[in-house]
Amino acid sequence: MTPTSKRRSGKSSHPARGTLIASVLVLSCSSVLTACGSSSSTPPVNNSGIDYSNAANWLALPTSITHKVDVFYLSDTAYQKPTPSAPDIGPINAPSMIKGDQAAFQRTATAFAPVANIFAPYYRQVDAMVQKSMTPANQVKDVGGIPTTDAIAAFEYYLQHYNDGRPFILAGHSQGSSVLSHLLSTYMKANPQVYKRMVAAYVIGYPITQEYLNQNPFLKFSRGPNDTGVIISYNTEAPTIGGPNPVMLSAQHALVINPITWTTSEAQATAQQNMGSWLPDPTTGQFVKVMDYANAQVDTAKGVLICSSANVAQLAPGNPLLPAGVYHSYDYPFYYFDIRANAANRINHFLNK
**Backbone dihedral angles phi then psi of residue 205, each to the nearest 5 degrees:** 80, 25
CB 60 within 8 A of CB 118: yes
In our burial notation (b when 16+ CB lie closer than 10 A, e otherwise), range 35-44 reads: bbbbbbeebb
Q: Which amino acid is at 122?
A: Y
The pLDDT value recorded for residue 100 is: 92
For the cut 70, the answer to whether the pLDDT of residue 28 exceeds it is: no
Report which of residues 148 and 109 the model is more confident about: 109
Report which of residues 154 and 25 the model is more confident about: 154
The pLDDT value recorded for residue 293 is: 98
CB 68 within 8 A of CB 169: no
Q: How far apart are the C-alpha atoms of 268 and 253, rounded to whole Å? A: 20
Q: Which amino acid is at 271?
A: A
The pLDDT value recorded for residue 144 is: 65
The pLDDT value recorded for residue 57 is: 97
Q: How far apart are the C-alpha atoms of 15 and 286, rounded to whole Å? A: 11
In our burial notation (b when 16+ CB lie closer than 10 A, e otherwise), range 65-93 reads: eebebbbbbbbbbbbbbeeeeeeebbebe
Neighbouring C-beta atoms of residue 229, cutoff 10 Å: 19
Neighbouring C-beta atoms of residue 122, cutoff 10 Å: 28
The pLDDT value recorded for residue 249 is: 66
| Sequence-distant (≥ 6) Cβ neighbours of residue 252 within 8 angstroms | 209, 210, 211, 303
The pLDDT value recorded for residue 341 is: 98
For the cut 80, the answer to whether the pLDDT of residue 30 exceeds it is: no
Neighbouring C-beta atoms of residue 275, cutoff 10 Å: 16
For the cut 60, the answer to whether the pLDDT of residue 134 exceeds it is: yes
For the cut 80, the answer to whether the pLDDT of residue 250 exceeds it is: no
CB 300 within 8 A of CB 266: yes
Confidence of residue 266 (pLDDT cuts 50, 70, 90): very high
Q: What is the pTM of this model?
A: 0.89
For the cut 80, the answer to whether the pLDDT of residue 283 exceeds it is: yes
For the cut 50, the answer to whether the pLDDT of residue 102 exceeds it is: yes
In our burial notation (b when 16+ CB lie closer than 10 A, e otherwise), range 167-202 reads: bbbbbbbbbbbbbbbbbbbbbbeeeeeebebbbbbb
Q: Report which of 237, 233, 220 is spatially closest to residue 176, judged by C-alpha positions.
A: 233
pLDDT tens, 3-12? Answer: 344 333 333 4
- Over range 120-138, report the average pLDDT: 79
The DSSP letter of residue 320 is S
Confidence of residue 254 (pLDDT cuts 50, 70, 90): very high
Q: How far apart are the C-alpha atoms of 151 and 167, rounded to whole Å? A: 18
- Over range 236-244, report the average pLDDT: 96
